[in-house]
Amino acid sequence: MTDNKAGATHHASQGKYRTLWGLFLFSIGLILLLSIAVLLQFSRATDYLYHATVKDPARVSPNGPVIVSPADGTVLYVRRVLKGTIPQVIKQGVPVPIADHLKMEPLSPFEDGYLIGIYMNTQGVHVNRVPDHGILKKQFIFNGPHMNMTKAETEIILSQLLPGMVSLKKLLGIAPFDLEGKTDYILNSARETLVLEDSRKKSVYIVRIADYWVGRILTWVPVGTPVTRGEKLGMITWGSQTDIFFENSPGMEIQVGVGDYVYGGESILATY
Protein backbone atom coordinates (compact mmCIF):
# COMPACT_ATOMS: atom_id res chain seq x y z
CA MET A 1 0.00 0.00 0.00
CA THR A 2 2.79 2.35 0.98
CA ASP A 3 4.62 1.68 -2.28
CA ASN A 4 1.48 2.45 -4.26
CA LYS A 5 1.03 5.77 -2.44
CA ALA A 6 4.69 6.68 -3.00
CA GLY A 7 4.39 5.84 -6.69
CA ALA A 8 1.26 7.94 -7.02
CA THR A 9 2.96 10.85 -5.26
CA HIS A 10 5.99 10.51 -7.54
CA HIS A 11 3.82 10.52 -10.68
CA ALA A 12 1.86 13.51 -9.38
CA SER A 13 5.11 15.39 -8.76
CA GLN A 14 6.34 14.57 -12.26
CA GLY A 15 3.05 15.75 -13.72
CA LYS A 16 3.29 18.98 -11.75
CA TYR A 17 6.85 19.61 -12.97
CA ARG A 18 5.84 18.85 -16.55
CA THR A 19 2.99 21.36 -16.24
CA LEU A 20 5.29 24.02 -14.78
CA TRP A 21 7.93 23.34 -17.45
CA GLY A 22 5.29 23.59 -20.16
CA LEU A 23 4.02 26.89 -18.74
CA PHE A 24 7.61 28.18 -18.61
CA LEU A 25 8.28 27.27 -22.25
CA PHE A 26 4.93 28.75 -23.28
CA SER A 27 5.78 31.99 -21.45
CA ILE A 28 9.20 32.19 -23.11
CA GLY A 29 7.64 31.59 -26.52
CA LEU A 30 4.99 34.24 -25.88
CA ILE A 31 7.63 36.76 -24.78
CA LEU A 32 9.67 36.06 -27.90
CA LEU A 33 6.64 36.51 -30.15
CA LEU A 34 5.70 39.76 -28.42
CA SER A 35 9.29 41.01 -28.69
CA ILE A 36 9.36 40.27 -32.42
CA ALA A 37 6.04 42.07 -32.86
CA VAL A 38 7.32 45.13 -30.97
CA LEU A 39 10.53 45.19 -33.01
CA LEU A 40 8.57 44.98 -36.26
CA GLN A 41 6.31 47.83 -35.19
CA PHE A 42 9.34 49.87 -34.06
CA SER A 43 11.03 49.27 -37.40
CA ARG A 44 7.91 50.42 -39.25
CA ALA A 45 7.65 53.47 -37.03
CA THR A 46 11.28 54.48 -37.56
CA ASP A 47 10.96 53.88 -41.31
CA TYR A 48 7.87 56.10 -41.38
CA LEU A 49 9.64 58.76 -39.32
CA TYR A 50 12.69 58.65 -41.57
CA HIS A 51 10.77 58.88 -44.84
CA ALA A 52 8.57 61.62 -43.40
CA THR A 53 11.61 63.72 -42.49
CA VAL A 54 13.86 63.12 -45.53
CA LYS A 55 14.43 66.39 -47.37
CA ASP A 56 15.32 66.52 -51.05
CA PRO A 57 14.83 70.08 -52.31
CA ALA A 58 15.36 71.02 -55.95
CA ARG A 59 18.73 72.61 -56.60
CA VAL A 60 20.03 74.82 -59.42
CA SER A 61 23.76 74.38 -60.02
CA PRO A 62 25.90 77.31 -61.18
CA ASN A 63 27.55 77.37 -64.59
CA GLY A 64 31.20 78.00 -65.36
CA PRO A 65 34.47 76.55 -64.07
CA VAL A 66 33.45 75.74 -60.49
CA ILE A 67 33.37 72.91 -57.98
CA VAL A 68 30.19 72.82 -55.89
CA SER A 69 29.50 71.25 -52.53
CA PRO A 70 28.63 67.53 -52.56
CA ALA A 71 26.51 67.91 -49.40
CA ASP A 72 24.44 70.24 -47.24
CA GLY A 73 26.09 71.17 -43.98
CA THR A 74 28.65 73.14 -42.00
CA VAL A 75 32.24 73.44 -43.25
CA LEU A 76 34.41 71.85 -40.56
CA TYR A 77 37.83 72.40 -42.11
CA VAL A 78 39.57 73.58 -45.26
CA ARG A 79 43.01 71.99 -45.57
CA ARG A 80 45.76 72.08 -48.16
CA VAL A 81 47.06 68.76 -49.50
CA LEU A 82 50.70 68.69 -50.64
CA LYS A 83 52.68 65.79 -52.07
CA GLY A 84 50.05 63.27 -51.05
CA THR A 85 49.84 64.36 -47.40
CA ILE A 86 47.73 66.71 -45.29
CA PRO A 87 50.41 68.81 -43.53
CA GLN A 88 48.00 70.34 -40.98
CA VAL A 89 46.83 66.92 -39.77
CA ILE A 90 49.46 65.23 -37.62
CA LYS A 91 49.26 61.62 -36.44
CA GLN A 92 52.06 60.29 -34.24
CA GLY A 93 54.23 63.24 -35.27
CA VAL A 94 53.85 62.63 -39.01
CA PRO A 95 51.55 64.42 -41.52
CA VAL A 96 48.66 62.14 -42.48
CA PRO A 97 48.85 60.69 -46.01
CA ILE A 98 45.79 61.26 -48.16
CA ALA A 99 45.49 57.47 -48.50
CA ASP A 100 44.74 57.22 -44.75
CA HIS A 101 41.71 59.41 -45.27
CA LEU A 102 40.57 57.85 -48.54
CA LYS A 103 41.32 54.30 -47.33
CA MET A 104 42.68 53.67 -50.82
CA GLU A 105 45.61 54.83 -52.90
CA PRO A 106 44.88 57.83 -55.17
CA LEU A 107 44.41 56.88 -58.81
CA SER A 108 47.34 59.16 -59.67
CA PRO A 109 49.85 61.13 -57.55
CA PHE A 110 48.01 63.85 -55.63
CA GLU A 111 50.69 66.54 -55.57
CA ASP A 112 48.67 69.64 -54.76
CA GLY A 113 45.05 70.20 -53.82
CA TYR A 114 42.51 70.80 -51.10
CA LEU A 115 40.44 68.94 -48.52
CA ILE A 116 37.11 70.34 -47.36
CA GLY A 117 35.07 68.61 -44.64
CA ILE A 118 31.30 69.10 -44.37
CA TYR A 119 29.25 68.07 -41.33
CA MET A 120 25.71 66.92 -42.21
CA ASN A 121 23.26 67.19 -39.31
CA THR A 122 20.46 64.71 -38.72
CA GLN A 123 17.72 67.26 -39.46
CA GLY A 124 19.20 68.53 -42.73
CA VAL A 125 19.33 67.33 -46.33
CA HIS A 126 21.06 63.95 -46.61
CA VAL A 127 21.25 63.70 -50.40
CA ASN A 128 24.74 63.93 -51.94
CA ARG A 129 25.30 65.65 -55.28
CA VAL A 130 28.00 65.59 -57.96
CA PRO A 131 30.51 68.46 -57.48
CA ASP A 132 31.44 68.87 -61.18
CA HIS A 133 30.84 67.47 -64.65
CA GLY A 134 32.83 64.33 -65.35
CA ILE A 135 32.90 60.54 -65.14
CA LEU A 136 32.65 58.40 -62.03
CA LYS A 137 35.86 56.37 -62.15
CA LYS A 138 35.90 54.29 -58.96
CA GLN A 139 33.96 53.31 -55.86
CA PHE A 140 35.74 51.97 -52.78
CA ILE A 141 34.04 50.82 -49.58
CA PHE A 142 35.94 50.63 -46.28
CA ASN A 143 34.06 48.43 -43.81
CA GLY A 144 35.66 49.83 -40.69
CA PRO A 145 34.05 50.57 -37.33
CA HIS A 146 31.13 52.99 -37.06
CA MET A 147 32.59 55.46 -34.58
CA ASN A 148 30.62 58.03 -32.61
CA MET A 149 30.85 61.68 -33.70
CA THR A 150 28.93 63.05 -30.69
CA LYS A 151 31.89 65.21 -29.59
CA ALA A 152 32.05 66.81 -33.01
CA GLU A 153 28.30 67.38 -33.12
CA THR A 154 28.31 68.92 -29.63
CA GLU A 155 31.05 71.37 -30.59
CA ILE A 156 29.18 72.44 -33.74
CA ILE A 157 25.84 72.87 -31.93
CA LEU A 158 27.43 74.92 -29.13
CA SER A 159 29.13 77.20 -31.64
CA GLN A 160 25.80 77.77 -33.39
CA LEU A 161 24.07 78.61 -30.09
CA LEU A 162 26.61 81.35 -29.35
CA PRO A 163 26.22 84.10 -31.98
CA GLY A 164 29.49 85.30 -33.44
CA MET A 165 31.59 82.54 -31.85
CA VAL A 166 32.92 81.28 -35.18
CA SER A 167 33.70 84.83 -36.35
CA LEU A 168 35.40 85.64 -33.04
CA LYS A 169 37.58 82.54 -33.22
CA LYS A 170 38.56 83.40 -36.79
CA LEU A 171 39.43 86.97 -35.69
CA LEU A 172 41.64 85.57 -32.93
CA GLY A 173 43.26 83.10 -35.31
CA ILE A 174 41.71 80.08 -33.57
CA ALA A 175 40.28 77.19 -35.56
CA PRO A 176 36.48 77.11 -34.96
CA PHE A 177 36.37 73.31 -35.26
CA ASP A 178 39.65 71.49 -34.64
CA LEU A 179 38.01 68.14 -35.24
CA GLU A 180 40.82 66.21 -36.96
CA GLY A 181 42.81 66.40 -33.74
CA LYS A 182 39.90 65.50 -31.47
CA THR A 183 37.94 62.67 -33.04
CA ASP A 184 38.99 59.31 -34.41
CA TYR A 185 35.92 58.88 -36.58
CA ILE A 186 37.23 61.19 -39.33
CA LEU A 187 40.22 58.97 -40.06
CA ASN A 188 39.09 55.59 -38.77
CA SER A 189 35.35 55.20 -39.25
CA ALA A 190 33.66 53.22 -42.03
CA ARG A 191 33.36 55.12 -45.30
CA GLU A 192 32.82 55.06 -49.02
CA THR A 193 35.19 56.86 -51.40
CA LEU A 194 33.99 57.84 -54.87
CA VAL A 195 36.48 59.08 -57.48
CA LEU A 196 35.32 61.54 -60.12
CA GLU A 197 37.36 62.60 -63.14
CA ASP A 198 36.14 66.18 -63.50
CA SER A 199 35.90 68.50 -66.51
CA ARG A 200 39.59 69.43 -66.01
CA LYS A 201 40.52 65.74 -66.31
CA LYS A 202 41.66 65.88 -62.68
CA SER A 203 40.60 63.68 -59.78
CA VAL A 204 37.95 64.64 -57.24
CA TYR A 205 37.51 62.31 -54.25
CA ILE A 206 34.18 62.30 -52.41
CA VAL A 207 34.54 60.60 -49.01
CA ARG A 208 31.30 59.81 -47.20
CA ILE A 209 31.93 58.89 -43.59
CA ALA A 210 29.54 56.77 -41.52
CA ASP A 211 29.39 57.45 -37.80
CA TYR A 212 27.80 55.22 -35.13
CA TRP A 213 24.24 56.39 -35.80
CA VAL A 214 24.28 56.25 -39.60
CA GLY A 215 21.94 53.74 -41.23
CA ARG A 216 23.49 53.31 -44.66
CA ILE A 217 25.56 55.03 -47.32
CA LEU A 218 23.71 54.77 -50.64
CA THR A 219 25.15 55.31 -54.12
CA TRP A 220 22.80 55.64 -57.08
CA VAL A 221 25.30 56.13 -59.90
CA PRO A 222 27.33 53.16 -61.23
CA VAL A 223 31.05 53.41 -61.96
CA GLY A 224 31.79 54.47 -65.54
CA THR A 225 28.76 56.74 -65.80
CA PRO A 226 29.11 60.32 -67.13
CA VAL A 227 27.66 62.74 -64.55
CA THR A 228 26.71 66.40 -64.48
CA ARG A 229 27.31 69.01 -61.81
CA GLY A 230 24.55 68.97 -59.19
CA GLU A 231 23.21 65.55 -60.20
CA LYS A 232 22.03 63.35 -57.34
CA LEU A 233 24.78 60.94 -56.42
CA GLY A 234 23.35 59.11 -53.42
CA MET A 235 22.69 59.80 -49.76
CA ILE A 236 23.82 59.12 -46.22
CA THR A 237 20.77 58.11 -44.19
CA TRP A 238 20.44 60.29 -41.08
CA GLY A 239 23.43 62.43 -42.11
CA SER A 240 27.04 62.31 -40.88
CA GLN A 241 29.94 63.79 -42.82
CA THR A 242 31.08 64.22 -46.41
CA ASP A 243 34.65 65.23 -47.25
CA ILE A 244 35.91 66.25 -50.67
CA PHE A 245 39.45 66.26 -52.03
CA PHE A 246 40.13 68.01 -55.33
CA GLU A 247 43.33 68.68 -57.20
CA ASN A 248 44.63 72.21 -57.66
CA SER A 249 44.92 73.91 -61.05
CA PRO A 250 46.17 77.35 -62.19
CA GLY A 251 43.87 80.13 -61.02
CA MET A 252 41.94 78.01 -58.52
CA GLU A 253 40.45 79.96 -55.61
CA ILE A 254 38.67 78.57 -52.55
CA GLN A 255 35.31 80.27 -51.96
CA VAL A 256 34.32 78.94 -48.50
CA GLY A 257 35.68 79.07 -44.99
CA VAL A 258 35.31 77.14 -41.76
CA GLY A 259 31.88 77.66 -40.21
CA ASP A 260 30.13 78.47 -43.50
CA TYR A 261 26.89 76.63 -44.29
CA VAL A 262 26.89 75.12 -47.78
CA TYR A 263 24.18 73.59 -49.97
CA GLY A 264 24.75 70.45 -52.01
CA GLY A 265 24.82 71.08 -55.75
CA GLU A 266 24.61 74.87 -55.35
CA SER A 267 27.26 76.36 -53.06
CA ILE A 268 30.57 77.00 -54.82
CA LEU A 269 33.55 75.54 -52.97
CA ALA A 270 36.17 76.62 -55.51
CA THR A 271 36.56 78.33 -58.87
CA TYR A 272 39.18 77.35 -61.44
So where are the chain's domains? 1-53, 66-271
pLDDT value for 69: 99
pLDDT value for 17: 64
Which 8-state DSSP code applies to residue 199?
T
pLDDT value for 90: 61
- In which residue ranges of the chain is pLDDT below 70? 1-17, 35-54, 89-93, 146-166, 170, 173-185, 212-215
pLDDT value for 43: 47
Backbone angles phi, psi at 64, to 5 degrees: 95, 180
pLDDT value for 60: 96
To the question of domain 66-271 being in CATH 2.130.10.10, the answer is no
- Element at 118 (helix H, strand E): strand 112-119
pLDDT value for 87: 80
For the chain, the distance separating the N- and C-terminal CA atoms, rounded to the nearest angstrom, is 106
